[in-house]
């Protein structure tokens, strides 16, 4: 991926000001047509973008339980609420076989979404109970309308 901003800006301005043709820039710089399309579309390099979030086969079935635990904790005093480690221990009892990091990341994401600090589209998980609790299921590919 081309991330040098000076190079990116130089090529972008060259194309937008019509100083050189696109073909000439492609030939001179040795870049692909799709790269040139990105340069003309984005004012800065977009970086790596996933088309669909990665599937989470181990934690996926337990996301509803994690969200339920977090939701039920709202009525408790702050010191008595479940931390990610305790949630991990509880879902291990339910049969979860994944690692703590996945649970920690899921808890963080659910809490962040519940606070309303996420500006992503909510996703629907096909073959599951859906996104009724309002958090993002990261193993889905289809947006909720």
Q: Give the CA distances from residue 82 to residues 64, 132, 145, in Å, rounded to whole numbers and listed in that order.
A: 15, 22, 32
Q: Average the pLDDT over each of 10-19, 26-35, 109-118 and give the range with the smallest value.
A: 109-118
pLDDT for 56: 87
- d(Cα 87, Cα 84) in Å, to the nearest integer? 5
More confident residue, 135 or 55: 55
CB atoms inside a 10 Å sphere around CB 37: 11
82: its two tokens: 């479940």
Domain ranges of the chain: 5-41, 60-143
pLDDT for 142: 42
| Sole residue written with tokens 């692909």 | 32
Q: Looking at residues 118-143, what average pLDDT do you find?
A: 44
pLDDT for 135: 47
What are the pLDDT digits (tens) for 26-56? 999 999 999 999 999 988 888 777 888 888 8
pLDDT for 126: 45
Q: Looking at residues 123-133, what average pLDDT do you find?
A: 45
Q: What is the pTM of this model?
A: 0.52
Is pLDDT of 117 > 70?
Answer: no
Strands (E) in 1-145, as ranges, are 123-124, 142-143
| Sole residue written with tokens 């690692």 | 99
């Amino acid at each position: 991926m081309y991330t040098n901003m000076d190079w990116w800006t130089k090529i972008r301005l060259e194309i937008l000001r019509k100083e050189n043709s696109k073909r000439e820039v492609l030939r001179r710089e040795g870049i692909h047509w799709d790269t040139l399309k990105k340069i003309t579309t984005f004012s800065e390099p977009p970086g790596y973008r996933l088309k669909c979030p990665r599937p989470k086969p181990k934690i996926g079935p337990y996301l509803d339980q994690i969200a339920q635990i977090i939701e039920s904790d709202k009525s408790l005093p702050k010191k008595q609420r479940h931390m990610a480690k305790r949630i991990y221990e509880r879902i291990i009892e339910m049969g979860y076989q994944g690692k703590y990091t996945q649970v920690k990341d899921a808890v963080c994401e659910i809490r962040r979404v519940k606070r309303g600090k996420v500006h992503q589209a909510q996703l629907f998980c096909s073959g599951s109970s859906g996104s009724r609790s309002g958090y993002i299921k990261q193993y889905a590919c289809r947006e909720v309308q």
